[in-house]
Amino acid sequence: HRPELAGRSFQAMGVSLVIHPRNPYAPTSHANIRIFVAEKDGEAPVWWVGGGFDLTPYYGFVEDCQAWHQMAKDVCLPFGADVYPTYKKWCDDYFYLKHRQEPRGIGGLFFDDLNQWGFDKCFEFIKAVGMGYINAYRPILAKRKNTPYGERERNFQLYRRGRYVEFNLVYDRGTIFGLQTGGRTESILMSLPNLVAWQYDYQPEPDSVEARFYQEFLTAKEWV
């Protein structure tokens, strides 16, 4: 797919972070920023940056989703008015489980192959994305991590974590790239939750909070 990379050595550098809280009311979060450089003697390097952040709640709170996307929008605005809507849609499209016909979570930002701004501006952008993730997630985690919960909520969380596992093993670019290039398997699979459960043909009870979660949160929408 990339004939310009033929005969070049490459380096891939990145920071990837996934947090799977124990409390079902605290959402899972993921962030990644990365740089790819391919070099060849006597020729200019080929490079690009990529990354983003996304949120995977198990019990939805509108204010959390709005705050998450507001931070994503604020991060992007200095780099252009079209950046947030473009990368927000890319995130919605990317973190979608086709075989389940549902998104993994409520999205955020996703971008790849970015180099048209020049290296310095692109590097500033991925730094802003990294800081934006921290500033968006910490207040949500602080607000939700001590919410009382019971066996029902825990079971639903473990079931929904299954979607996270399915996405990472079937679709995720980073996982596929790492396994195909002989990366360290233990490190590559560190993004998976330590406990997960599947239930055959699960259907939430009608009018339950879990049913409303599917109807109101597991659908692409404009949060801000």
Structural domains of the chain ordered from first start: 3-216 (3.40.1500.10)
The mean pLDDT value for 115-121 works out to 96
In this prediction the pTM is: 0.92
The mean pLDDT value for 45-65 works out to 96
pLDDT tens per residue, range 184-202: 999 889 999 999 999 999 9
At 178 the pLDDT is 86
At 10 the pLDDT is 83
Active site residues: 30
pLDDT tens per residue, range 2-39: 767 777 788 889 999 999 999 999 999 999 999 999 88
Looking at every residue in the chain, the average pLDDT score rounds to: 95
CA dihedral for 178, 108, 22, 33, sign (positive or negative): positive
The mean pLDDT value for 127-152 works out to 98
